[in-house]
Every structure is written in structure tokens, then in C-alpha cells.
């Protein structure tokens, strides 16, 4: 009997790592039901666009992607953050088949089933247990919660995604274990506010491998560290219990000495206007203490310059703070007003050219700090996970580098390396953002 051809779906994933996790979940389910992914819109039976609605520029990008899909294919399902406010999409493209918001996996699947019923696929069970991944196979994002209980004035995520909803610890651990079994070497723990994990469920326990595990930042990090893969903690706010996790980084080599803390600013008045969680004047002292306790700790952060009302002295405060804190990795953004964000009503907007000047000044200052921090690594040995192989030099990352956002380590090797392999490299040279070295052990 001839097998019916599998229905084909073209998938566009826009936005942040959290949206990528949503895309992976939808694709995993669709593959499990026998759908195939198409490389192009015009060869597909249907197109799914997972949108981002964080900034107005992201909305424009999302609308553009929907437009392309409509033109090339015509059968389009829209999901993701922008789907939480469907009016704009409906107005621009009245012919889209369905629009759903973020994490509405079931609604997306229902829309697919209606437009394109699944066919029986005898290869169903061949699907790898971790699902189909959009990121390379050797690292994976692990989303531990949805939504956010904070109300930062520049952000509309709580409006789009709702309050914090944490996944049970055993569910997260099961997913992580499956990923590791399938070859994932690095787990990137993400959520809007990773250190708030479990607050909504009062740190409820669940059974994992015959023991009770609390849905709590420290407990989850500890258990994840036992799975054998690197565990990188992203989007952490400096709540007091983060101190315990620093200790864990010293005792469990898989819990990477790396924290991504989006400070966004340092000047007290700006932080107040931003309504940032855990904003406090003791942050510098805590960073100092963390570094004393865990000298290898790498800190990554993001900052917004030109927030409404930011004065020259606020900005200078930020530069001085940065100098003092010696943050290893920094991403900076010029403030952009987002439709629906309370900060739009603040007044005292900073002119665009001042924003640009401040952005330039911050990046220049950070480049010097980054170069200085990296220079300390010359002569050391670092473990490096290989992302891309080359004939003589391969590109990888040390424990201090998250994929896509941080620097790289370029390593030369006498024997060919494999993607996902972790090698030991002797660091010979550093520039502003990257390291260079030679493989000294496998």
C-alpha cells in the first residue's frame, strides 16, 4: 500500500529564546503527529509564523514575515506574542487562518488539524525523545516558567504573557534529562525571571527520582547540575537567594559560574522610574562578595540608555558603576517606547542623538572592561564547547560565553574536532571580545 505523502509545514520563528522554545515545542508535537517541515513557503501546505511583539520594530518584522508567507503560500497560521493583540494582524492580513497568543500550543495544533489533517505516519516512534530542535543539537533552551510577576515600566511582557506560571520541577527535570540523553551538552535555563521560579506555586515539591524536589531556583539548579550537561542560568535577578547558587557553582562543575542579570541601569532614580525588581544600592557589594566566593564568575548584563528622564549625571553614574562592577559581558539598548508600556507616559524623553552618544560611550567603556577581563585568561586552560568546526581553527565557547550573545574562543587543533565536543584549550591571546588558543586536551 502506498503511503500518503506527509503534509508539509513551513515554520518561521521570530523573537527571543523563549519564543524559540515555544517553536520547538510546537514543531515537536507536529512531527510527532506525522507532519514534515518544508524548507520554503511555496513548497509547503501551510505556514506557521511565531511572532514577537516586544518592541514596535519587532512587530513590524512580524507583520513583514506574515506578509511574505501570505504572498508565497496564502495559508498562514499566526501565533506568539503579537498574537495576543490580533487586531493589527487582522487589519493587515484578513486572510490568515488563525491567530493565537504565546504558549497556546493546543490552539495552534487545532488550527493546523483543521486546515491540514494529519496522516498516519508509521515512523512516528522514530522521533528522538527530546523532540525536534531549532537550535544546534548540542545545546538547548530549557524554559522553566511563563509570564512575569514584575511590572517594569518599559515592558509589556506581563500584559502579553500574564503573571508567572512555573512548571513543576519534575517536568522540567524530565525534559532536561531527555535532552541530555539525546546528546545535548549545555542547557540554557530561561524564563522572564529565572530566580523567581516557583514563587507562584509556593515552591511546591514534586517527585523526581524517588525524592522530593522543590520548584525553587537553587534546588532546580542543583538537580540540573547532576544531569551531566553544562547548566547556564539566564535572566536572573539579584534576589537574596541568588547568593546560595553562587556557592553551588563552586561545588558542582556543571552549574556554570555564569550569571546573566539584566540590570538595565544603575542610577537609583532611573531604576525607580523603571520599577525594576530587586533594585537596591547594595548590588556592587554583592557582586564583590560573589566574586570573592567564586573567582571564575562571569557576569553578563544588559542596559538601557536614554530612558525617559535619564540625566547626564544618571548616565555618568551608570558608567562609574560599570567601571566598579567590571561586568564581563554587556549588551546595551537605546530606549525605545513600546505601545502599551507605562514608561510612555513618563515625559522627559531623551533626544535620539543623546541616546546614540550615550550608547557609544557605554559600549566604548565596556570594550575596555571586556578586553581587560579577557586578558586575565591568557595563559589559563579553559574548557571549550565546539560550535563550528574549521579545517585548522574551530569556533567554540568557554564556560563564560553563552551562545549568540557573548564572545567566542577560537581554537586550533591538530586533530579534527566535532561540533558539541568539549575540549580543553590553552588560551594564548585575547582581543576585546574573543579568546584564541590551542587544544591541549580532550
**SS3 call for 25:** helix
Position 13 contacts ligand SF4 (CB under 6 A): no
Window 167 to 196, contacts with ligand SF4 (CB under 6 A) = 192-193
Spatial separation of the C-alpha atoms in residues 84 and 161, rounded to whole Å: 8
CA–chain centroid gap for 158, Å, is: 17
Only one of the segments 146-154, 306-314, 403-411, 428-436 lies at the binding site for ligand SF4 (rule: CB under 6 A); that segment is 146-154
Query: For residues 345-374, which are near ligand SF4 according to CB under 6 A?
Result: none
Residue nearer to ligand SF4 on the CB measure, 335 or 410: 335
Task: Name the segment binding ligand SF4 (CB under 6 A); options: 46-54, 147-155, 314-322, 425-433.
Answer: 147-155
CB of 312 to ligand SF4, least distance (A): 25
148 lines the binding site for ligand SF4 (CB under 6 A): yes
Characterize the bridge pairing of strands 8-13 and 36-37. Answer: parallel
Of these, 82, 132, 142, 157, which contacts ligand SF4 (CB under 6 A)? 157
Tell the smallest beta-carbon distance from residue 159 to ligand SF4 (Å): 9
Regarding 279 and contact with ligand SF4 (CB under 6 A), the answer is no
Inter-residue contact 197 to 144 (CB < 8 Å): yes
Least distance from ligand SF4 to the Cβ atom of residue 162, Å: 11
Residue 86 binds ligand SF4, judged by CB under 6 A: no
CB count within 10 Å of CB 87 equals 8
* Order of all β-strands in the sheet with 298-305: 139-143, 186-190, 230-233, 255-260, 298-305, 329-334
Number of residues interacting with ligand SF4: please give it, by CB under 6 A: 10
C-beta of 31 vs 161, nearer to ligand SF4: 161
Among 96, 155, 267, 430, binds ligand SF4 (CB under 6 A): 155
Q: How many CB atoms lie within 10 A of CB 43?
A: 11
Provide the minimum distance between the beta carbon of 191 and ligand SF4 in the complex, in angstroms, as a whole number: 9
Within 13 Å, how many C-alpha atoms sit on residue 382's CB side? 31
Min CB(192)–ligand SF4 separation in Å: 4
160 binds ligand SF4 (CB under 6 A): no
Taking the complex as a whole, the smallest distance from the CB of residue 241 to ligand SF4 amounts, in Å, to 16
Nearest to 94 by CA among 72, 118, 66, 62: 66
Residue number, 80 or 277, with CB nearest to ligand SF4: 277
Nearer to ligand SF4, 136 or 158 (CB): 158
Query: Please, which contacts does 67-72 make with residues 24 or more away whose CB atoms are closer than 8 Å?
Result: 67/92, 67/93, 68/41, 69/10, 69/12, 69/41, 70/95, 70/96, 72/40, 72/41, 72/42, 72/47
Residue nearer to ligand SF4 on the CB measure, 46 or 155: 155
Handedness of CA 331, 332, 338, 341 (dihedral sign): positive
Q: Which residues contact 160 (CB under 8 A, 6 or more apart)?
A: 53, 81, 84, 85, 101, 102
- Residue bearing cell 563564560: 400
Closest CB 193 distance from ligand SF4, rounded Å: 5
Closest approach of Cβ 237 to ligand SF4, in Å?
Answer: 7
3-state secondary structure 310-354: CCHHHHHHHHHHHHHHCCCEEEEEECCCCCCCHHHHHCCCCCHHH
Nearest approach, Cβ of residue 389 and ligand SF4 (Å): 36
Is 158 one of the binding residues for ligand SF4 (CB under 6 A)? yes
CA distance 217 to 231: 12
Binding site for ligand SF4 (CB under 6 A): 148, 150-152, 155, 157-158, 192-193, 277
Amino acid at each position: 500500500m502506498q503511503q500518503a505523502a506527509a503534509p508539509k509545514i513551513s515554520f518561521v520563528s521570530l523573537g527571543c529564546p523563549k519564543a524559540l522554545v515555544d517553536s520547538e515545542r510546537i514543531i515537536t508535537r507536529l512531527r510527532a503527529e506525522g507532519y514534515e517541515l518544508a524548507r520554503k513557503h511555496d513548497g509547503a501546505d501551510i505556514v506557521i509564523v511565531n511572532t514577537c511583539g516586544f518592541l514596535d520594530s519587532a512587530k513590524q518584522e512580524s507583520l513583514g514575515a506574515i506578509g511574505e508567507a501570505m504572498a508565497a503560500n496564502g495559508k498562514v497560521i499566526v501565533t506568539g506574542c503579537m498574537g495576543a493583540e490580533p487586531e493589527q494582524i487582522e487589519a493587515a492580513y484578513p486572510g490568515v487562518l488563525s491567530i493565537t497568543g504565546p504558549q497556546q500550543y493546543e490552539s495552534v495544533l487545532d488550527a493546523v488539524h483543521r486546515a491540514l489533517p494529519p496522516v498516519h505516519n508509521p515512523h512516528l516512534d522514530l522521533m528522538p525523545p527530546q523532540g525536534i530542535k531549532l537550535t544546534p543539537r548540542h545545546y538547548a533552551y530549557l524554559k522553566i516558567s511563563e509570564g512575569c510577576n514584575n511590572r517594569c515600566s518599559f515592558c509589556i511582557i506581563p500584559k502579553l504573557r500574564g503573571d508567572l506560571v512555573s512548571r513543576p520541577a519534575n517536568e522540567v527535570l524530565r525534559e532536561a534529562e531527555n535532552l541530555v540523553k539525546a546528546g545535548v551538552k549545555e542547557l540554557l535555563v530561561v524564563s522572564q525571571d529565572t530566580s523567581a521560579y516557583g514563587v507562584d506555586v509556593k515552591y511546591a515539591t514534586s517527585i523526581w527520582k524517588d525524592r522530593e524536589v522543590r520548584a525553587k531556583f537553587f534546588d532546580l539548579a542543583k538537580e540540573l547540575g547532576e544531569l551531566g550537561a553544562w547548566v547556564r542560568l539566564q535572566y536572573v535577578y539579584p534576589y537574596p537567594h541568588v547568593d546560595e547558587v553562587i556557592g553551588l557553582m563552586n561545588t558542582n562543575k556543571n552549574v556554570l559560574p555564569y550569571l546573566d542579570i539584566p540590570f538595565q541601569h544603575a542610577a537609583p532614580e532611573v531604576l525607580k522610574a523603571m520599577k525594576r525588581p530587586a533594585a537596591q544600592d547594595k548590588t556592587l557589594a554583592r557582586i564583590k562578595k560573589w566574586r570573592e566566593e567564586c573567582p571564575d564568575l562571569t557576569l553578563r548584563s544588559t542596559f538601557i540608555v536614554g530612558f525617559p528622564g535619564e540625566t547626564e549625571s544618571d548616565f555618568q553614574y551608570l558608567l562609574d558603576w560599570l567601571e566598579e562592577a567590571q561586568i564581563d559581558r554587556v549588551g546595551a539598548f537605546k530606549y525605545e517606547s513600546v505601545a502599551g508600556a507605562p514608561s510612555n507616559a513618563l515625559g522627559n524623553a531623551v533626544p535620539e542623538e543623546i541616546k546614540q552618544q550615550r550608547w557609544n560611550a557605554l559600549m566604548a567603556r565596556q570594550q575596555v572592561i571586556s578586553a581587560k577581563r579577557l586578558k586575565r585568561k591568557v595563559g589559563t586552560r579553559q574548557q571549550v564547547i565546539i560550535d563550528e568546526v574549521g579545517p585548522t581553527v574551530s569556533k567554540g565557547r568557554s564556560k563564560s560565553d553563552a551562545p549568540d550573545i557573548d564572545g567566542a574562543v577560537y581554537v586550533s587543533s591538530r586533530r579534527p574536532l566535532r561540533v558539541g565536543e568539549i575540549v580543553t584549550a590553552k588560551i594564548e591571546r585575547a582581543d576585546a571580545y574573543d579568546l584564541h588558543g590551542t587544544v591541549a586536551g580532550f
